[in-house]
Structure 1
């Protein structure tokens, strides 16, 4: 299944998909929920980055740790998700939050998931304030732990490099300049930088697969995508890079979900600026 779906394709298939609004604002965590109440795609449900698409924070596991898979599966089931139903996620932030849900669904073993290319601004139909009536279903999952690595794998990789770490944050944050989200600036030693925004065209849609393929091949410099680990500040925009790699036909990359916010929580872990 193509990881992206166009607005016109979605309008044709809308009756058959489970549509999820993932809008969010890191500086105003209630903004997405308020925007959903003001107007959303017909039939869309809302999932919150902090409340639904992340787990409990301990102060050491990053700003957006992965959710408990059973809790997430139960939430999805309450909205009508099933093993054979296509899920489409959208947002209004270039796909970064929709991509988080896209990756989480694949982590749960559900490949029938797509992101609306261009997000809300690409939608040509009307918006509604009507809340959809959920028809709860059964949603079973088969977790794919091979899609991710933990902090111990990154520490081991520093001693004996096996994979390349790619940081999705902006170049300035990668360099440790202007850090506002985490208490410490810099990056993981050995990491390279690919700003997630570089995956998009000016209109907010993803670049063509051929263009993404060429750009990512240059970023990876001969390293196979399957030998890369994607990270960011908290495991969200890294999913955007993972989605872009999938669009480019470069599968197999993994996610370091704790990302920089977990890495820098331990002062004994090395950093570069």
Structure 2
């Protein structure tokens, strides 16, 4: 064990449009104290990019795509929890399996959301999926990938066909951060029926589409939950508090202060390091709940503590947030400011080493 040094410095059928071959190719080529603080941000994280300029709205198809089956009754949380979860999680309604989604993709009230960048979506996506790149939820006025304002999130989600009553299933490629980050953002905004596709697109194993899907506009009324978005001040107060845990989802090298991506390296004193990739098995699906429970409890991240998650920019830590919610942790938050805020502040305490 290396010695630690503490340094204190001063979402009715969607309409579709088929991408032209030339257009699709052109775009593709261009382009978590007792709280647990989870450190976030993928290893390739950068500050939130400016939101892309608006593009021409998709052309509504003149004929609706052939239905594969008659729409089923709108799914409820109870039915989803009973049938959708691929594993025995405490909160099974927060995750769906590929098999479940293939059977229920045409259900009334279900909105499938692709959280990947637009260029990836155009190359191929799940049939019927609406593209909502997670970067569109960031506040362009902030440099720390913080979520946008209440009003802008309401407008964005409504434009993507996400209503308060919608059953939302989000995916990315699998073993990535966009789906988990969008999941967290929707929960922060007050949506109560959101899930992530276990394994993502790489686990799909079925046909994909290059049709651009435009969902009918919906009304989403946000009720922001501040407990989902702990602040730098709350994280500072969590230091030494036995009722809270700071969970850092970054790599061990970042945690120790060897991989420095801000003015100062290291970690918040007392923080626990569980890298976000440890939540996945050998493929793109999450590990079994028993293994995940053992992983967190062995490190001292237990359900009787309040959890604050962080990483570099609140993205990798969103995976930790999702997993802890699945495991039934009652108090979990994602510190979106994360190390890019903490590590650039001369006044915050920092520790190097293991």
TM-score by length of 2: 0.69
> Residue 165 of structure 2: SS of its match in structure 1?
coil
Q: Which residue of 2 aligns with 1:239?
A: 318
Structure with the bigger RCO (C-alpha within 8 Å, sep 6+) is 2
Find the aligned partners of 1:96 and 1:196 in 2 and give their Cα distance. Answer: 9
**By how many angstroms is 1:133 displaced?**
2.5
> Residue 299 of structure 2: SS of its match in structure 1?
helix
Alignment of 1:213-224 (within 5 A): 213-220=293-300, 223-224=302-303
Alignment of 1:195-214 (within 5 A): 195-214=275-294
Find the aligned partners of 1:95 and 1:3 in 2 and give their Cα distance. Answer: 17
CA contact (8 A) 1:225 1:253 kept: no
Find the aligned partners of 1:133 and 1:72 in 2 and give their Cα distance. Answer: 18
Q: Which has the higher helix share?
A: 1
In the alignment, which of 124, 139, 145 is matched to residue 55 of structure 1?
139
Find the aligned partners of 1:104 and 1:225 in 2 and give their Cα distance. Answer: 24
In the alignment, which of 185, 191, 201 is matched to residue 104 of structure 1?
185
Find the aligned partners of 1:109 and 1:58 in 2 and give their Cα distance. Answer: 21
CA contact (8 A) 1:209 1:249 kept: no
> Residue 10 of structure 1: SS of its match in structure 2?
helix
Q: Which residue of 2 aligns with 1:14?
A: 105
Find the aligned partners of 1:159 and 1:119 in 2 and give their Cα distance. Answer: 38
Alignment of 1:36-115 (within 5 A): 36-50=121-135, 52-59=136-143, 62=144, 64-115=145-196
Please say if 1:158 is aligned against 2:242.
no
**By how many angstroms is 1:251 displaced?**
3.0
**By how many angstroms is 1:38 displaced?**
1.0
Q: Deviations over 1:189-233 (max 9, x none)?
A: 221101111111101101111221121111226x43542211111
TM-score by length of 1: 0.88
**By how many angstroms is 1:183 displaced?**
4.3
Structure 1 alignment gaps of length 5 or more: 24-31
**By how many angstroms is 1:271 displaced?**
1.6
**By how many angstroms is 1:150 displaced?**
0.6
Alignment of 1:171-190 (within 5 A): 171-179=252-260, 181-190=261-270
**By how many angstroms is 1:148 displaced?**
2.5
Please say if 1:3 is aligned against 2:100.
no
Find the aligned partners of 1:226 and 1:95 in 2 and give their Cα distance. Answer: 27
Q: Which residue of 1 aligns with 2:41?
A: none
| TM-aligned CA distance change 1:69 to 1:170, over 3 Å | same
| TM-aligned CA distance change 1:49 to 1:265, over 3 Å | farther
Find the aligned partners of 2:241 and 2:315 in 1 and give their Cα distance. Answer: 27
**By how many angstroms is 1:56 displaced?**
2.4
Find the aligned partners of 1:260 and 1:208 in 2 and give their Cα distance. Answer: 29
Structure 2 alignment gaps of length 5 or more: 1-80, 82-92
> Residue 138 of structure 1: SS of its match in structure 2?
coil
Please say if 1:124 is aligned against 2:208.
no
The answer to which of 237-246 and 263-272 deviates more is 263-272
